[in-house]
Structure 1
Amino acid sequence: MKRLKNQRGFTLIEMLIVMLIITVLIAIAIPNVSKQTSAVDEKGCKAFVQMVQGQVESYRMDKKAVPVMADLVSEGYLKTGETSCPNGEVINISVDGVVSSSKAS
């Protein structure tokens, strides 16, 4: 029984200090993660625009015409629901076949 009494544990103050340090680290990390999320969405949209541009060029070679988004979906060049960027921007195809993205209104 004496052996159990000699073992030390953490005091309440030590536990509170550890919790304070963890809280400060989390408070620093969360804003950085949210900034990175918007950067990832932006890069994902650029990549999606390039992919759609490739599909437009493929459609132009096959059909000898400039498509609209509905044509790409109906002909199987894009999957249904792939008509906007992951961050919500709308994909536009100009009359000369150039793909761009713009904020949704």
Structure 2
Amino acid sequence: MKRLWIHNEKGFTLMEMMVVLLVITVLLLIALPNITSHSSKINDKGCEGLKQMVQSQVEAYRIDNNAIPTLNDLKTEDYLGKDRELVCPNGYELSINSTTGKVE
């Protein structure tokens, strides 16, 4: 008589799956706080990069026109993209000091 039930040992047991889920959970608990604490630092670095890029365009405008530009001047004369929003990743809006030409 043939056996009706074939014993198949391919696959994982419930305990093996639980151990894998436990390991993944521990790794996530270790990694997530580090990622969230670095996001504010990443936003600050992004803001500094944007400030430096705008500052270089202010200097280019100053060389070309012998004047300190406004943000509107930089946009209309295509030193910056016309539709470019000058807002840092952390929500801080950039401005140009009208006396020194420094991007703040």
TM-score bin (small chain): 0.7 to 0.9
Q: Whose radius of gyration is greater, 1 or 2?
A: 2
- Identical amino acids, percent of aligned pairs: 47
TM-score, structure 2 as length reference:
0.81
Q: Secondary structure, in 3 states, of the residue corresponding to 2:54?
A: helix
Aligned equivalents of 1:8 and 1:84: distance in 2?
55
Q: Please point out which of 67, 86, 91 is paired with 2:89.
A: 86
Aligned-CA RMSD value: 2.1
Q: Normalised by the size of structure 1, how large is the TM-score?
A: 0.81
Q: Please name the residue that 2:53 is paired with.
A: 51
**More off after superposition, 9-18 vs 52-61:** 9-18
1:1-105 to structure 2, matched below 5 A, reads 4-5=6-7, 7=9, 9-79=11-81, 80-94=83-97, 95-100=99-104
Between Structure 1 and Structure 2, which shows a larger proportion of strand residues?
1
Q: Which runs of 5+ in 2 are unaligned?
A: none
Give the total of aligned pairs.
100
